[in-house]
């Protein structure tokens, strides 16, 4: 598979080069040159297939022959070693739980897939250079990347996170592992972290000293595997409906963008819904046609505290930069913290279902959409509620037991390097 930059001013590259580079030299995100629909027979018989087979059929055209079939299936078997249950709440509404992996966040799949791809490429190249994975996180990405890359030979991971703006458990997951993982605590917001990462990629002073790549969803190996969730949900719900819609709590828009890629491959998804918090960049765009990025605002759904969503350019590309086509495929809603808490309480009281703040927003957006549309709706529950105890209603927080994945890190010592600007980051990386 060949990839090109969405800024269209950089050379085309292979899958491996796109993964290693992360961002194109012209600051553009990589995008596949071709997207081929899967055969109808695949969808007609999907309920007979296991998750690894489904994932392989979905991803193989994007990897091409750069990872042989047997090795790619081995990677996928390792990546998909946990469940993705669809929990039915009522006749036309279900939750897709994506938090049953090692760091209890949906980003485990993409982080693990990317780590194993880089590990495979390193093993195949006797003269490989060590790679530094530089990543910004607003919450769950850091922990998923840290866990996914822990101990991977030839890869050093550097994580930037906004001080005081991730939960205690999220912070523990990215600051306590040691080995090849280093955490930088940034005096600022997520957008500051993301800007530092982008700036480092374009800094000529790193040439010959560090090979930098990103494990944010700007990296194709982090972004594309998120398609799998939608295939798995369709497999579970295929017998129920012909009209399937997904409500996706969205921050950087990588997850919902991956769902749209699955749709492009032929997966029968009727519509997408984006739910977000006060950082309502895309819902406002869908209303006005005027795309305006802003400084991010801190909320209790912190993984969506993004004022300049990186992946939205890919969503536009998937819709051929046609605003009307996008509006026909995507609805957008935003909610306050108080509305989010109210939804958490409602889900608990009505269904005995405990949602985290992001999943609660996904539920609210789906509920609003279904008021005027008839369909089978699925909202994505993207992280375990245990990660957000300080902002959860106390009565609900008190009944959440600590999963084993969290128990092993909660008492470990945090180790981070405090920085406030790019120059300090650069100084540390060039030591």
Q: Where are the domains of the chain?
A: 82-106+222-401
Q: What is the pLDDT of residue 303?
A: 87
pLDDT digits 0-9 by tens, 283-311: 999 999 999 999 888 899 988 988 989 99
Distance separating the N- and C-terminal Cα atoms of the chain: 37
Which H or E run includes 161?
strand 155-162
Q: Tell me the average pLDDT across 253-261.
A: 97
Torsion angle of the four alpha carbons 392, 396, 401, 402, in this order, in degrees rounded to the nearest 10: 0
278 burial class (0-12, 13-18, 19+ CB within 10 angstroms)?
A: middle
Q: What is the pLDDT of residue 359?
A: 97
Q: Is the pLDDT of residue 239 over 90?
A: no
Q: What is the pLDDT of residue 387?
A: 87
Yes or no: domain 82-106+222-401 corresponds to CATH 3.40.50.12780: no
Q: Tell me the average pLDDT across 236-258.
A: 92
- Res. 240 pLDDT band, cuts 50 70 90: confident
Q: What is the pLDDT of residue 56?
A: 98
321 burial class (0-12, 13-18, 19+ CB within 10 angstroms)?
A: exposed
Q: What is the pLDDT of residue 91?
A: 86
Q: Tell me the average pLDDT across 206-211.
A: 87
Residue 299's nearest CA partner among 205, 155, 166 is 166
Q: What percent of the chain has pLDDT above 70?
A: 99
Q: Is the pLDDT of residue 273 over 70?
A: yes
């Amino acid at each position: 598979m060949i990839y090109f930059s969405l800024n269209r001013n950089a050379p085309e590259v292979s899958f491996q080069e796109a993964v290693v580079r992360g961002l194109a030299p012209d600051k553009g995100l990589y995008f596949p040159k071709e997207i081929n629909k899967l055969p109808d027979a695949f969808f007609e018989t999907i309920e007979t297939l296991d998750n690894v087979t489904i994932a392989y059929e979905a991803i193989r055209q994007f990897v091409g022959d750069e990872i042989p079939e047997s090795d790619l299936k081995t990677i996928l078997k390792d990546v998909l070693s946990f469940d993705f249950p669809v929990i039915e709440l009522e006749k036309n509404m279900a939750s897709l739980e994506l938090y049953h992996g090692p760091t209890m966040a949906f980003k485990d799949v993409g982080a693990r897939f990317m780590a194993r791809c880089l590990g495979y490429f390193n093993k195949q190249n006797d003269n490989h250079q060590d790679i530094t994975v530089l990543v910004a996180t607003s919450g769950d990405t850091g922990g998923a990347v840290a866990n996914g890359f822990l101990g991977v030979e030839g890869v050093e991971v550097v994580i930037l996170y906004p001080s005081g703006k991730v939960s205690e458990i999220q912070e523990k997951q990215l600051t306590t592992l040691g080995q090849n993982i280093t955490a930088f605590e940034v005096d600022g917001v997520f957008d500051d972290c993301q800007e530092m990462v982008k700036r480092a990629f374009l800094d000529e002073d790193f040439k010959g000293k560090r090979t930098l790549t990103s494990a944010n969803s700007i990296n194709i190996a982090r972004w594309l595997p998120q398609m799998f969730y939608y295939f798995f949900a369709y497999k579970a719900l295929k017998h129920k409906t012909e009209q399937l819609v997904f409500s996706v709590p969205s921050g950087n828009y990588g997850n919902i963008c991956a769902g749209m890629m699955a749709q492009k491959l032929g997966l029968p998804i009727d519509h997408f819904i984006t739910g977000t918090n006060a950082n309502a960049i895309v819902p406002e765009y869908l209303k006005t046609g005027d795309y305006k990025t802003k400084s991010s605002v801190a909320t209790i759904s912190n993984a969506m505290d993004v004022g300049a969503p990186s992946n939205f350019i890919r969503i536009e590309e998937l819709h051929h930069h046609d605003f009307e086509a996008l509006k026909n495929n995507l609805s957008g809603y935003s909610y306050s913290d108080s509305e989010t808490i109210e939804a958490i309480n409602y889900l608990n009281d009505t269904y005995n279902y405990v949602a985290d703040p992001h999943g609660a927003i996904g539920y609210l957006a789906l509920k609003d959409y279904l008021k005027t549309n008839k369909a089978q709706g699925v909202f994505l529950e993207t992280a375990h509620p245990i990660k957000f105890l300080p902002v959860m209603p106390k009565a609900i927080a008190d009944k959440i037991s600590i999963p084993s994945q969290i128990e092993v890190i909660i008492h470990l010592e945090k180790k981070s390097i405090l920085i406030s600007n790019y120059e300090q980051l650069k100084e540390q990386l060039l030591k």
